Structure 1
Amino acid sequence: MGHGEVFRMGSVGTSIIGRPRPLSGHRRAHPRYTLECDEPLDGQVTIDASNTFGDRPPGYDSIAQQVKAIIGGPTAKAFNTNFASIYDAVDAEPMPPGTLFASDADAREATESLIRDAGFEPIHLGDLAKAPLLESLITLTSTLDRGELGPFFYRFNRPGELAAQLGLNPR
């Protein structure tokens, strides 16, 4: 897997593989993921938040699948399509921005909880077989970031859903 950092979220008993993601201070989760390398990770729920700009690990369709093979527990791919640099702006949004994720069934609840604790709305793509799709999105998100848009939030909704949630009259 190369270099990776493991961060443990005690509030949901989940480990995160990837960069630390600062959360707003009032969130239920601890404001920062804490590095705990001395604890065994075998079999626990793990969220892969990493990205790759090159080839995937040999023998695996995604980094998340490699993480699952190493840790041996339920695994999810999440947070890799969001910009940590703008997490402090989440609370200024009228509606929670989205976070795309894929997960094993046994990792879904903890992953959704952590996503909501961070102020985002979970958007489940399906099982961990969808992780390669999420990892491929780094090319698109990086291109948009380097263009006129810069770091951004995203949200997907059904027709009329956003207007209803904001108490507006749909056209």
Structure 2
Amino acid sequence: MKRRTFLARSLAALGIGVIGSTLAGCGFHLRGTQQQPLAIDAVDLKAPVSLLTDEVSRTLANAGVTLSDQAPLILNLGAERVEDISLRGGGMINDEIELRMVAPYSVQRRSDNAYLVTQGRLESATTYLVNNDDPLVRDELQANALAELRSDLARQLLTQLGTLTP
């Protein structure tokens, strides 16, 4: 019996290995995990000091884009605006909250100050459930949701910059 179990597990592991090798060899990638190289390698970020600005800076750096005052493109990022909407009304114990974050942006060439993107708008939304009897957990859930929204806006901005040529 033990030998059969060992053989069955070995064959299952071998099958999983073969499938994984085949998928990796054929160019299969999970959606959103493959980064396309950007046509721009440097950008001048003009933005208010905020958590969104920090996230955008980090995302640009991870994509290989350097932040420089002499870059050919200027990225103007506005302040984030957050809406907090309760989806369940009344005095219920559990509440479903929708957070919506919006941030304006524009991109211009440094050489002639021409706008490549005049009035761009980044927007993302998420929902989370909270127990109104526990305000500490509510604050933590909101902070996590806001961090997720900022990360999503930064990825959206990176995607939009990927379509531009300096």
Give the structure-1-normalised TM-score: 0.23
| Higher share in strand | 2
Name the one with the larger helix percent. 2
